[in-house]
Amino acid sequence: MSHPDPGSSQPPRLSAADHASRALGVVTLDQTPFLFRMRRTRNWFFLGLLYAAYYLCRYNLSTVTPEIAQEFGLSNAHTGWLSTGRDFGYAIGTFLNGLFADALGGKQAMAIGAIGTVVLNLAFGAFAGWFSAWDVAFLITGFIVIRTIDGYAQSFGSPGMVKINTAWFRRRERGRFAGIFGGMIQLGVVGVNQLSVILLTGALTIGGVVLFNVGKQDWRIMFVVPPMILAVITLLMWLNVKNHPEQTGWRVQHEDEVGKADVSETKLPLGQVFRAIASNPLVWVNAGAYMCTGFVRRAYDFWWAKYMFDAWSVGKGSWEFVVLGFTLPIAGFLGSFSTGVISDNFCKSRRSPVATGLYFVETLVILAAVLVLGHSPWGSPMMAVIFLTLISLTVNSSHSIIGTAVAMDIGGRQMAGFALGVINSFQYVGAIAAGFLLGVLIDWFKWDALFLSMLPFSILGTVLMLATWIATRGKNVRGA
């Protein structure tokens, strides 16, 4: 940025970003000023809080599937359709909304998705109350339609989140960021699990001591309280989050932008974004691996409450349910954060070596769960808690590193939304199969099918990431 010539009558006109940069400066490749870190922390805290609140309205269904199935006499196949409907809407939406996030801005995309999610969650609870005496087929159809549209609305969230944070975080920071952000997501999972226990049992109990009573609520309350929390947090996000650091007076120098013009406010034509991402083979390899993650992740996170209830007679009043409500998300956070740090610090921001190890360990854990829980005298509710927690550790780690870090690496700040949209849409192709199809398999083969069905997907994920690692070994390839 040039300074005015003292002898000139008209100093050069400066943009708002130039003025801000003059006031605070540029974040270089090797320096991250304290004031910038503070502003970035504020940005991603409220962004993470919003995405955690998205999860309150996403996993509320899985926490009450035993109650819904019991009230309406639903089979596992019927119950699975509720998950499949939402995931179908999400799969279509995340592909399209990745482009919209790149065009509109991440903050705007996340706000649109949040408002839609609030409305549709309230609609689900109201529909279940107003038409509860109607024919079951009508009810199931209504549930599926509402959840499918809700899935589309929620799909604005992840492309918007990745779009914003690609601008704020450099490549060498993104693995660690993905892990920290994974922790914010798991906060939402903890929240919805504990909300379901408190509201549906009527009390908060720790160590057998009742801390307070709220009165036992109907399961429909889980489609009222979470969206109200989301509405409040959406407002807080809107007041605190900025799409680009330039909007707060900072200019971040990214590794892939050195020597280039300022691209902070440059929006590429949608056709150019589509061609650039669709022609990148790494996008499709990572998408295939992410499909595998999607199946395993949905298989445990949608079915775990019903599995524990049906297979082990573990309800919301049991200590196993309360423990799982904490250990599943905590394990997910620990895995996400540690693998992000390993990827950034020990693998030079390479993602495929870490992902290969994750899928391989996950395969071993799932195989052990099949053998112990279904075909040995050691099977017990405690062992089920342990294996479900270990699966959460591994699958959320691969979810974080591929779904967040890889998408940011491949897309950069101009195309991260669509890169995430393509990769993430395949996650929900796998998740679709883990709904209705897995429900059918459980009806046919009982709960052995839950863990057996995960094995081929985990093995395929290992093969795809190992092939990527070998093909790009010794090369500096973004997204590998």
Each residue of 456-467: pLDDT tens digit?
999 999 999 999
Which tokens belong to 279? 């022609």
Residue 479 lies in a domain: no
Residue 242 lies in a domain: yes
Q: What is the mean pLDDT of residues 198-222?
A: 75
Count CB neighbours of 12 within 10 A: 11
pLDDT band at 20 (very low <50, low <70, confident <90, very high): very low
Whole-angstrom Cα Rg for the chain: 23
Please indicate whether residue 361 or residue 177 has the higher confidence score (pLDDT).
Answer: 361
The percentage of the chain sitting over the pLDDT mark of 90, rounded to a whole number, equals: 37
* Residue 332 CA, distance from chain mean position: 11
CA count, 13 A, side-chain hemisphere, 347: 28
What integer pLDDT is reported at residue 316 of this predicted model?
80
Q: What is the CATH number of the domain that holds 459?
A: 1.20.1250.20
Residue 19 lies in a domain: no
Q: What is the mean pLDDT of residues 204-222?
A: 73
What are 347-396's pLDDT values in tens digits? 777 888 888 999 999 999 999 999 999 878 899 999 999 999 999 999 98
pLDDT band at 205 (very low <50, low <70, confident <90, very high): low
What are 270-320's pLDDT values in tens digits? 677 777 777 788 888 988 999 999 999 999 988 998 999 999 999 887 888
Residue 22 lies in a domain: no
Residue 401 lies in a domain: yes
Least confident piece of the model among 158-162, 185-189, 269-273: 269-273
What integer pLDDT is reported at residue 378 of this predicted model?
92
What integer pLDDT is reported at residue 7 of this predicted model?
38
pLDDT over 50 at 9, yes or no:
no
Q: What is the mean pLDDT of residues 253-279?
A: 62
Residue 9 lies in a domain: no
What integer pLDDT is reported at residue 463 of this predicted model?
96
Q: What is the mean pLDDT of residues 62-79?
A: 90
The range of the structural domain enclosing residue 122 comes to 29-254+267-471
Please indicate whether residue 149 or residue 350 has the higher confidence score (pLDDT).
Answer: 149
Residue 15 lies in a domain: no
The percentage of the chain sitting over the pLDDT mark of 70, rounded to a whole number, equals: 85
Pairing of strands 203-206, 26-27: unpaired
**pTM (2 d.p.):** 0.75
The Cα 90–Cα 203 span in angstroms is 34
pLDDT over 50 at 160, yes or no:
yes
Domain count, the chain: 1
pLDDT over 70 at 397, yes or no:
yes
What integer pLDDT is reported at residue 474 of this predicted model?
77
Residue 5 lies in a domain: no
The Cα 422–Cα 399 span in angstroms is 14
Q: What is the mean pLDDT of residues 166-186?
A: 74
Please indicate whether residue 463 or residue 197 has the higher confidence score (pLDDT).
Answer: 463
The Cα 407–Cα 194 span in angstroms is 31
pLDDT over 90 at 269, yes or no:
no
Pairing of strands 209-213, 251-252: unpaired
What integer pLDDT is reported at residue 402 of this predicted model?
83
